[in-house]
Every structure is written in structure tokens, then in C-alpha cells.
Structure 1
Amino acid sequence: MATSIKNPHTFFNFQEKGDPRSLRSKIDKLSTCFLAIASVSSIFAASSIAALLLYNFVKFCEQGFLPNILSDAWLPSKGKYGFLPFIAGTLWITVVAMTISLPLGFLTAIFMAEYIPRKLYSPVKSLIELLAGIPSVVYGMWGLMILIPLVRDHLAPLIGGSLGEALPIFRVNVNAGFSVLAAGIVLSIMVLPIMISISEEVMRAVPMEYREAALALGATRWQTVKTVTLRQASSGIFAGIILSFCRAFGETMAVLMVAGNVATTPSSLFDPAYPLTALIANHLLEMLSTPSYAYALLTAGFTLFTITFSFNVVARLTIRQLRRARR
């Protein structure tokens, strides 16, 4: 007759120290506590930054500077803080960077996810990760030593001479090399790893069964990529584009070194520009010594914060709509 074992630990003379369920419960509570602290800390940090910028924006308005905020007059000695040249310079450089990096990053991600030979994947992936790890000041030095002479001595005479009369965007008004184009090229290289990595990962996350089903129905490989992979990964690809845009929009050091930093609104790719981030970095000492300067520069930071936050909100809403449409 079989012996009934009510407690296997007692049967094998095994003494357990404490109740394992109680221990797991304590670990779960401790983990929850740490996660809650981390979440609250992140929310507090973001809220404190937003509050600081908003407070100084209100002070900026109280000083009577708001009516001139969208003018092109930057004369701090006369109390004129016009941000139009800096906002325009930031948008010019960001649009140029995204125009260059978007097709390159998108096509590279498709190649990495669908077509690349296995032997090439690791070295190419390592190269992309290396690009992501290079400090921005190194990109700026590369742009200063290589790209500025290239734009000044070759691209500006060639493009401006052939297209400048017909298309004002290519007109060479000042040929010093420090320009929207130079800054846009540097930024495009800097944001490429973000766009490639995110787009590739979301494409690889598409189940293989979907691809196999399309191929079984007679679709070519490119048709499968176009109608199945890209459709399923569209929301993730769009998120990668927005993250790349925000990265380009907020870059400081590399752009500061190659954009030219002239407080005028650019009208051509070869004009110098002065982004908002470079404005803040260049005038930190004045901010510490003059209250009105501090209000103006923190208002520039508030402008950057607001634009970036708005793009993130629009991106989330768009991604939600894409996911609903895909279903």
C-alpha cells in the first residue's frame, strides 16, 4: 500500500528556512517600490524642467519682450530679443538633415532587415553602432576640417553656379562654407544610426509567417517587403523618424561648429544659420550675469521644449491611428 506523503520536505528531512511564498511576495513588493520611485523621479525631473522653462517664459513676457519674439532683431543691449532667425535656422538645418537621412536610413534599414548576407550583417551593424557612439564634438571637428572646405570650394560654386539663378534656395549669397548645408549633412550622419536601428528592429519583429504566406501566394520578395513588412512595421518606422527629428532638432555642439552662427534668417542652403541650441550654448555667461538675458535664453529653451513636445504628441496620435488602420 502506497504511503501518503503530506509534506515532501519533511519526508526527505529537508528543513526550509522561511516560507518561499512570503519571500517572493517581499521581493515583488520591493521591486514595485523601486519601480515606483524610478517612475516618480522621471516624472519629477521632466516636470521640474518644464516648470523652470515656463516660469522664465512668464518672466520674459512680464518684462514686455513678447511682442518682439518673432522679429528678426537680436539686440540684447536694446532689449530686443527676436527669435525668428534662430527658429528659422533650426528648422532649415533639421529639414535638410531629415531630407538627406530619411531615404538613406529607410533604404539601409530595409537592406539590413531583408536582403543583407549573413556574413556582412555583423560588420555593417557594428559600423552603425560605432556611428551612434561617436561624440558630437568629433562630428563637428570632421565637419570643420573636411566638410566646410568641400562646401566652400566645390559644392557652392558647382551647385550655385548652375542652379542659383533659377532656384533661390541654391543661390550662393555668402560663400564661407559655414552653412545650412554643412550643418544639415553633419546632422544627417548623426541621426542615421537611430533611424536605421529602430526601423530595422521593427521590420525584423514582423512574424516570418506573414512573409512566407505572401511568398506562397506568388509575391516577389520586394512585393512582400512593400505590402507586408512595411505595412506591419509602419508605426515603428514612423516612431523612428520622429525620434531622429527630435535628435536633430536638439543637437548643439556639432551644429554650433559648422553652421556659421550668424543671426540672420537663411534664404539659401549656402547661407549661415544660427540654431536655438547654439544660441543658448554661446551666451551662457551673459545669462548668468544679466536677468533679462537669462529670461530670453530660457525662453529659447522653452521654445525648443514646446516644439519637441508637440512633435512627440503628434507622433503618438499618428502611431495610434496607424495601428488602428492596420487592424
Structure 2
Amino acid sequence: MSINLLKFRVLKDKSARGIMLILTGLSLFILVAMGAGLYWKSTTILSDQSLWKLLSSSEWSPMKGEFGFFSFIAGSIYVTVLSVLIALPISLLTALYVTENAKAWVKKLLFPVLDILAGIPPVVYGVWGTLVIVPWIADSVGPKFVEYTNGYTVLAGGIVLSIMIIPLLVSLFVEIFSTVSKDYKDASASLGATRWQTSRFIVLRKALPGIIAAIVLAISRAFGETLAVLMVCGNVINIPRNLFEGCYPLPALIANNYGEMLSLPLYESALMFAALVLFVIIFIFNLLSRILLQEVEKQFKL
């Protein structure tokens, strides 16, 4: 009986290991299948025009066969970088306060608020941005810096997107900071360090790899955001010269045009190429960030 039980446990262990291996392979297969599918759908435009021309040109006139994606890529990068620059210091300081200084009632109040903000649909953020942020930029902020702006700008997209990713960053940072051993903090305090010095030189230093991983996740989330950005960026095909001009991010291009242009094979292929560019940019960025993360972990010996 004991031998049969042992055989059953070994069989169950092998079965569980095999199932996990299959599911892991399935995850990798989905990633490869997505990339291959987007590339296959993009072959029409790639055979018609060179890759360099598609990526370096800003001319966009589908009826004339002109498909330049540079302005769309630039718009996506501008909005994403701006949103992270706004959200990162707010999220870091909020998470540090919550983990190092906040009282229990503050935590009980803050976490439900973060959950609510994280669960709000993007369209609600877009509507809020259209009703509040866009007029604020057009009437109050913009006139101080430029002669005219209608409010549908890179700045509006960056602000709305930053508010969308703040709950994600704060939640991740709180979890990361909570893993820093209390022994390090006590040792720092025993040497006469203030709370801010402990947070700056101990907590942030020990949590740096996790911070980098959280930022990468937030950038990936922000770069692919569609609806909220589409509603506040103006959808103007140009390379923005400042924060008070409109832009046209890649996700907005796909969302705005895909359903209407299925009857034009070259246009459809161009939109699939836009999705492929988005896919490749996020993939490369995550790959480079993993390499950077490994180097940081080696440096700090975590």
C-alpha cells in the first residue's frame, strides 16, 4: 500500500511538472504567435515600401499610398515619457510615506482609493481629461507659454496617462518597499540617520531592482494605452515641437482607423504594421530593461 501511494505521489508530481511546462511553453508560443501574425499581416506594406521609409517618413496619405509612421512613434514616446516623468516622483514619495511614515488609518484610507482609481475604465479618464484637463490647459496654462493652444495636447495626454499609472506604481512600490528588511532600517537609525536619510540611502537602494521592474511595467502599460490618450491628444499628424501641440500616438491610429479601412488591403496592412511596431518597441524595451536589471542586481548584490 505504501509503495502504491509513493508511486501515485511520484506520478502526480511528474504530471504537475509536465502541466506547468506545457503552460509555460504556451505563454511563449502566444508571444511568438502574436509577433508572427502581425508580421504576416504587415507583409503587404513591407513589400510595397521599404522599412526605412515607413519608419523615417512623416508623410501620411493613405489614398496616395504614403505611410510614414515617424510622427506616430514620436507622439507615443512623448506622451509615455511625460506621463512617467510626472507619475514617478509622486508614486515614489507616496509609497515611501505609506511604508515608512504613515499611520494605520492613512493606509486604510489610501489603499481602497488606489484600488478604485486602478479599476476606473480608461474611457472615464478620457472623458475627465476632456472636461477638466483640456480646458485647463487651453485657458490657464497654455496662454502663459504659447500664443494659442486648444488644449488637446501632448501635455494633456501625459497628465491623464500619469494619473492612470500612479495607482499601479504606488501599489508596486509599496509592495517592493515592504520587502526591505527592518534590520537595515534599524541599523541606519542606530547610526543617527533621519527617516528621510534611511528612506533615501537604505530603502531606495535596496529596492532599486524592484523599482526598475515597476517602472518598466508602467511604461509598457502607458505605451499601449489607447482610449484615454485618443480622447485628449488631438490626433494631429505631426511631430510635436512642444508640450502644447497635439500628437497622434500609435494606439490611437489603430483604434481610429482599423475598422473603417478593412476594404483597402494596403491600408489594413499599414495598420497591422503599426501594431507590429508597437509590439516590437515594447518587446525591445522590456528586453533591455531585463538586462539593465540584472546588472543592477549584480552591482548591489541583491
The residue aligned with 1:312 is 286
The residue aligned with 2:19 is 34
The residue aligned with 1:126 is 112
1:164-313 maps to which residues of 2 (within 5 A)?
171-173=146-148, 175-313=149-287
Q: One-letter code of the match for 2:266?
A: S
Q: 1:145 pairs with 125, 131, 138, which one? A: 131
**Matched residues in 2 for 1:172 and 1:281: separation?**
31
**Matched residues in 2 for 1:176 and 1:58: separation?**
38
Q: One-letter code of the match for 1:107?
A: L
1:49-64 maps to which residues of 2 (within 5 A)?
49-64=34-49
**Matched residues in 2 for 1:81 and 1:25: separation?**
59
Conserved? CA contact 1:172–1:268, under 8 Å: no
| 1:121-149 deviation per Cα after TM superposition (whole angstroms, max 9, x unaligned) | 12101111211111111111111122222
| 1:123-178 deviation per Cα after TM superposition (whole angstroms, max 9, x unaligned) | 10111121111111111111112222212122212x32xxxxxxxxxx345x2221
1:67: how far off?
4.7
Deviates more, 1:248-257 or 1:224-233: 224-233
1:233: how far off?
0.4
The residue aligned with 2:69 is 83
1:99-118 maps to which residues of 2 (within 5 A)?
99-118=85-104
1:64-79 maps to which residues of 2 (within 5 A)?
64-69=49-54, 70-79=56-65
Q: 1:18 to 1:142 in 2, by over 3 A?
A: farther
Q: 1:194 to 1:172 in 2, by over 3 A?
A: farther
1:68: how far off?
3.0
Give the TM-score of the pair, scaled to structure 2. Answer: 0.94
- Please provide the CA RMSD for this pair: 1.7
1:25: how far off?
2.3
1:155 aligns with 2:130: no
SS across alignment from 1:61 = helix
Q: 1:287 to 1:27 in 2, by over 3 A?
A: farther
SS across alignment from 1:283 = helix
Deviates more, 1:217-226 or 1:227-236: 217-226
1:17: how far off?
9.5
Deviates more, 1:232-241 or 1:32-41: 32-41
The residue aligned with 1:23 is 8
Structure number with larger C-alpha Rg: 1
**Matched residues in 2 for 1:221 and 1:64: separation?**
59
1:44 aligns with 2:29: yes
The residue aligned with 1:136 is 122
Conserved? CA contact 1:181–1:269, under 8 Å: yes
**Matched residues in 2 for 1:257 and 1:60: separation?**
28
Q: Which runs of 5+ in 1 are unaligned?
A: 1-15, 161-170
**Matched residues in 2 for 1:74 and 1:250: separation?**
21
**Matched residues in 2 for 1:65 and 1:81: separation?**
11
Q: One-letter code of the match for 1:147?
A: I
**Matched residues in 2 for 1:318 and 1:284: separation?**
36
Q: 1:112 to 1:93 in 2, by over 3 A?
A: same
Q: One-letter code of the match for 2:213?
A: A
1:57: how far off?
3.8
1:259: how far off?
0.8
Conserved? CA contact 1:68–1:80, under 8 Å: no
Q: Which runs of 5+ in 2 are unaligned?
A: none
Q: One-letter code of the match for 1:320?
A: Q
| 1:207-248 deviation per Cα after TM superposition (whole angstroms, max 9, x unaligned) | 111111221222222222122111110000011111111111
Q: One-letter code of the match for 2:101?
A: Y
Q: 1:172 to 1:251 in 2, by over 3 A?
A: farther
Number of matched pairs: 300
